[in-house]
């Protein structure tokens, strides 16, 4: 299948060294058919990859949270429960408080919070390292050219990628933020956390996004069978940018120039 990715690929001779290095790295990725997986904090939607946890009042949830923790995580939690020596002690402590008819409901709610708070922090810490790669179905979105391709000075690359590529999935747009119990996010067997990466607000629906997600982000990776099949230059792309991209990527990758049409349309020659 064919998908697209906008890039702020614009060359200026006197731009800072950091920007020139970034330009060179992006061209290298295009040349080598590699794709950059960003970490969530680099994404422009503050809700992206951030779960909303509801606090459970169920002892079954407490048991599931404790069972899903690594020994290192359990050791960290035990510091918050100084009277407990192992995770089973934590469960029995909470069970004793919650099951007692002498315990007020407000107290029950209060004692159920600390463990779930720690567990949610653990989940959020793990999410900071995942990698997200975004594509779009629409290479003619005027707003996306402005936002993601340096105000039409950059490019949009056409990517031919197998539709059955692992973790490649269309984003669902919704008015309701994904909501989880903590244990559902801790254990991949529930499959709930997977939904988080592919759900965004309807405010972003015009982007027609597809995504891939990997465990580690902040690096460029090859995708089996995926190749950059075309470079589309923005309306305002300079001749310097085109020459530099051609120099670094090579002439084998087809290139097209975007042009303006009537009634806010965009097109390019095949």
- Asked whether residue 146 falls in the same domain as residue 15, the answer is yes
* 63 vs 155, higher pLDDT: 155
CB burial of residue 65 (10 Å; 0-12, 13-18, 19+): buried
pTM: 0.86
Boundaries of domain holding 106: 52-127
Name 148's Cβ contacts closer than 8 Å, sequence gap at least 6: 6, 7, 8, 154
Residue 159, token pair as written in the block:
């990517």
pLDDT of residue 190: 47
- Number of domain units in the chain: 2
pLDDT digits (tens, 9 = 90+) for 57-90: 888 888 888 988 889 999 988 988 889 999 999 9
pLDDT of residue 150: 94
pLDDT digits (tens, 9 = 90+) for 198-238: 999 999 999 999 999 998 899 999 999 999 999 999 999 99
- Asked whether residue 205 falls in the same domain as residue 244, the answer is yes
- Asked whether residue 24 falls in the same domain as residue 118, the answer is no
Q: How far apart are the first and last CA of the chain?
A: 17
- Asked whether residue 118 falls in the same domain as residue 9, the answer is no
State the average pLDDT over residues 146-162: 97
- Asked whether residue 168 falls in the same domain as residue 249, the answer is yes
CA 184 to chain centre: 19
Confidence band for 127, pLDDT divided at 50, 70 and 90: confident
CA 210 to chain centre: 11
Q: What is the number of other CB atoms lying within 10 angstroms of the CB of residue 146?
A: 16
Is the predicted pLDDT of residue 191 greater than 70, yes or no?
no
Confidence band for 24, pLDDT divided at 50, 70 and 90: very high
pLDDT of residue 156: 98
* Domain termination site, one of 112, 127, 142: 127
- Asked whether residue 206 falls in the same domain as residue 78, the answer is no
- Asked whether residue 192 falls in the same domain as residue 147, the answer is yes
Closest residue by Cα to residue 92 from 61, 65, 67, 62: 62
Q: Answer positive or negative: Cα dihedral of 24, 26, 31, 34.
A: positive
- Asked whether residue 147 falls in the same domain as residue 257, the answer is yes
- Asked whether residue 138 falls in the same domain as residue 236, the answer is yes
- Asked whether residue 143 falls in the same domain as residue 249, the answer is yes
- Asked whether residue 215 falls in the same domain as residue 237, the answer is yes
- Asked whether residue 145 falls in the same domain as residue 227, the answer is yes
């Amino acid at each position: 299948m064919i998908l697209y990715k906008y890039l702020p690929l614009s060359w200026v001779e006197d731009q800072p060294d950091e920007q020139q290095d970034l330009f060179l790295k992006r061209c290298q990725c295009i040349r080598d058919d590699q794709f950059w997986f960003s970490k969530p904090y680099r994404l422009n939607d503050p809700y992206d990859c951030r779960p909303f946890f509801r606090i459970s009042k169920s002892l079954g949830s407490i048991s599931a949270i404790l069972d899903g923790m690594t020994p290192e995580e359990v050791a960290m939690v035990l510091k918050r429960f100084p009277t407990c020596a192992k995770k089973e002690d934590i469960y029995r402590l909470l069970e004793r408080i919650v099951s007692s008819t002498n315990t007020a409901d407000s107290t029950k709610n209060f004692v159920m919070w600390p463990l779930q708070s720690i567990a949610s922090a653990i989940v959020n810490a793990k999410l900071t390292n995942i990698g997200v790669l975004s594509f779009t179905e629409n290479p003619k979105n005027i707003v996306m050219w402005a936002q993601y391709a340096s105000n039409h000075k950059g490019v949009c690359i056409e990517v031919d990628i197998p539709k059955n590529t692992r973790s490649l999935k269309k984003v669902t747009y919704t008015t309701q933020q994904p909501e989880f119990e903590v244990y559902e996010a801790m254990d991949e067997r529930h499959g709930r956390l997977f939904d988080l990466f592919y759900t965004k607000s309807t405010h972003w629906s015009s982007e027609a996004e597809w995504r891939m997600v990997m465990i580690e982000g902040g690096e460029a990776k090859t995708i089996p069978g995926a190749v950059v099949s075309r470079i589309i230059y923005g309306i305002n792309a300079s001749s310097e940018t085109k020459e530099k991209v051609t120099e670094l990527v090579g002439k084998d990758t087809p290139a097209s120039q975007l042009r303006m049409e009537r009634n806010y349309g965009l097109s390019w020659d095949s």
